[in-house]
Amino acid sequence: MRAHRLLIGLAGLMGAAGVALAAASAHGADASRLASASAMLLFHASAILATIALLTRGLLHGGIGLVATFGFAIGAALFAGDLTLRQYAGHALFPMAAPTGGMVMIASWLAVTLAAVAAKR
């Protein structure tokens, strides 16, 4: 499925960016924001891959699971993008970008729960 391949590609990019931000955090002065951004990207890249695997096995409701998976990518991008921009440019992506990303990730985890309950037996 095309959406699955897109999400797997996004997970790869998120993983690479997460590792790069972890390195920048380890070598930069006062770079704690980058560590948080790195963690969100790495955790949710793995969550995307796991959710796609569960979807392809039929263990999650397809539509709900796909929405959750896109939510992981969008939420992590907002959260990490905002923190990274604050670190390097000194300003936010947009007002409330990181909290919005966080809420999208929380909603996505709840959607995974719903997708598991709603899956065909």
The pLDDT assigned to 110 comes to 98
CA distance 73 to 62: 17
Q: What is the pLDDT of residue 8?
A: 98
Task: For 29-59, write each residue's pLDDT tens digit.
Answer: 788 899 999 999 999 999 999 999 999 999 9
> What is the Cα gyration radius of the chain?
15
Per-residue pLDDT, 1: 87
Report residue 61 as tokens.
Answer: 């409701």
The reported pLDDT for the residue numbered 69 is 98
Report how far residue 42's alpha carbon sits from residue 108's, in angstroms, rounded to the nearest whole number.
16
> Average per-residue pLDDT in the chain?
96
**Residue 47 and residue 73: Cα distance in Å, rounded?**
9
Residue stretches of the chain with pLDDT short of 70: none
Q: What does pTM read for this prediction?
A: 0.94
CA angle, residues 90, 80, 9, in degrees to nearest 5: 135
